[in-house]
A and B are shown apart, each in its own frame.
Chain A
Amino acid sequence: DQQVKQNSPSLSVQEGRISILNCDYTNSMFDYFLWYKKYPAEGPTFLISISSIKDKNEDGRFTVFLNKSAKHLSLHIVPSQPGDSAVYFCAASAGETSGSRLTFGEGTQLTVNP
């Protein structure tokens, strides 16, 4: 039962353009969502998060949008840079009752071409 899904295994964009990574979830108990970036042979690095009471959170070049009714979130990176090339994981948490464990999507490999 895949509660968090990232349907695009890969995405390729040109430097300077927008990268949009998508994530869908099924569990209505999820109340906090996070994006992590992962380089090979390293641990996931926290990027940006959003609470379910918001629909947008912005941090520099990164913006996360949450559509609760559609159970969908997306990460926008503008402008994209070659250093952004990595695997991006969407994760969700159902709060303290579940120990705030994270449920991860399968990841999307982003490649930003110079």
Chain B
Amino acid sequence: DSGVTQTPKHLITATGQRVTLRCSPRSGDLSVYWYQQSLDQGLQFLIQYYNGEERAKGNILERFSAQQFPDLHSELNLSSLELGDSALYFCASRQGPGDNEQFFGPGTRLTVL
């Protein structure tokens, strides 16, 4: 158990819909990262938040957005869903600058039908 929690574990929805994925980092960790794992793209970095502020962005689609709340939990919002958005979405956390290891949650499997 990494200490990072993600909900829900599975999500099935239809094209065009909007979903929210939630992540709670390890106690004391200020940085939250979101990654997408799809069959053809492997594990890809989406976005990072540190203590409530966006710090880095990867190849995140404009239809996707995220935020980190004062209690440090984070949400990833995916809208206008397409079939190709079906993937595993992982959240990871780390303490902060100077701490290089990231610890991953169990992931949310999103299926878009």
| Chain A residues near B (Cβ < 8 Å) | 32, 34, 36, 41-46, 49, 51, 89, 91, 93, 96, 98-107
- Are the C-beta atoms of A102 and B102 separated by less than 8 Å? yes
Interface Cβ pair total, 8 Å cutoff: 63
- Are the C-beta atoms of B104 and A43 separated by less than 8 Å? yes
State the Cβ distance, A73 to closest chain B Cβ, in Å. 15
In Å, the complex CA distance between A98 and B58 comes to 10
Does B62 sit within 8 A of A, measured CB to CB?
Answer: no
Flag the segment in B11-19, B41-49, B79-87 that touches A: B41-49
State the Cβ distance, B47 to closest chain A Cβ, in Å. 9
A105, closest chain B residue (CB): B42
In Å, the complex CA distance between A99 and B100 comes to 10
A43-B90, A43-B107, A102-B92 given; name 18 further pairs at CB < 8 Å: A32-B100, A34-B100, A41-B106, A43-B2, A43-B105, A44-B104, A45-B2, A46-B104, A91-B43, A99-B56, A100-B48, A100-B94, A100-B100, A101-B45, A101-B48, A102-B35, A104-B42, A107-B42
